[in-house]
Amino acid sequence: MPLFAIPAGDIDAAGRSIAADLPVAWLDEQLSDCDLRGAESGHVSGRISRSGAEIVVRGRVHAVLQAPCARCLEPTKLDVDAEMSLLLKPAAPAVLAQKADEKRAAAQAKKAAGGSTKTEPGKKAPKEKEPPEYEFSSDEAEVDVYDGETVVLDGFIREAILLEMPIFPLCSEACPGIRPASPEAVEGGVEPPIDPRLAPLGALRAALAKSGSREPNDDQGAAAGSADASQQKKTKKE
């Protein structure tokens, strides 16, 4: 259920103010696919008004998020202050139908990706039918749409936040990156946390160490066998 849904009939030319908090749970839900979390409750403020059949939205979005540092992977807080300026036109039925088709096609593709993709030998996999593309005019490309009855701002607020996010978030400009474990920590018996992405390398190192430990034993066995053979030959000669 959207958090910011305003009936279009309640919006007039004089407009109405927008002032609401962005709960942490809402931020987590909206940004879960971007490896972002809400650190504190955010806030959105502005004004929404009507111009004929079009809806004008002007406002600001403030949020404090938590993201992993691009260098050291430690959680870091990011203060986002974004401007939101929208001109929303009522969507034609063809546009709404197109958006519905795109959502259904995306859901079907996601479901198909989780199934088996094997094909019989000698047979080609059937090509998926792509939904027809709607061609936007130059005017429509500069604005967005709403369904003509309800203005839902959740997606626009999410987009405003993401547009202000840095590509490589850093805990500080001087961040040195992932640091190796200090000898003091190892000698003191405190095991440093291991990055799970390095687990395959750790398993390979253990396998190599185990393989290397067997070689001296094999050499010793071979040396002992040679010594026994030499001793037997010497005994026979005597």
What pLDDT tens digit does each residue of the chain (238 aa) get?
A: 788 898 988 898 888 999 999 999 999 999 988 889 999 999 999 999 998 888 999 999 999 999 999 889 899 999 999 999 999 988 765 455 556 566 667 666 655 655 444 444 454 445 445 444 444 444 443 478 888 888 999 999 999 999 999 888 888 888 888 766 555 555 555 566 667 777 788 788 888 888 765 554 545 555 555 555 555 555 555 5
**E strands in the chain:** 5-7, 16-22, 37-51, 54-68, 75-90, 144-146, 150-152
Give residues with Cβ within 8 angstroms of 152, minimum separation 6: 2, 4, 5, 6, 146
- Tell me what pLDDT residue 113 has: 58
pLDDT of residue 143: 73
Q: What is the token pair recorded at 122?
A: 């000698």
Residue 139: the pLDDT is: 47
Domain boundaries, the chain: 5-111+139-163
* pLDDT at residue 197 in the model: 76
Euclidean distance between CA atoms 80 and 164, whole angstroms: 6
Question: CA of 117: how far to CAs of 23, 89, 112, 123, 131, in Å?
Answer: 41, 41, 8, 12, 21
Written as six digits, the tokens of 226 are 């040679």
Show the tokens assigned to 161: 């936040």
Q: What is the pTM of this model?
A: 0.55
pLDDT given at position 198: 75
> For residue 22, how many other CB atoms are within 10 A of its CB?
24
State residue 202 phi and psi, 5-degree precision: -65, -40
Q: Token pair for residue 225?
A: 């066998």
Contact status, residue 99 vs residue 83, Cβ threshold 8 Å = no
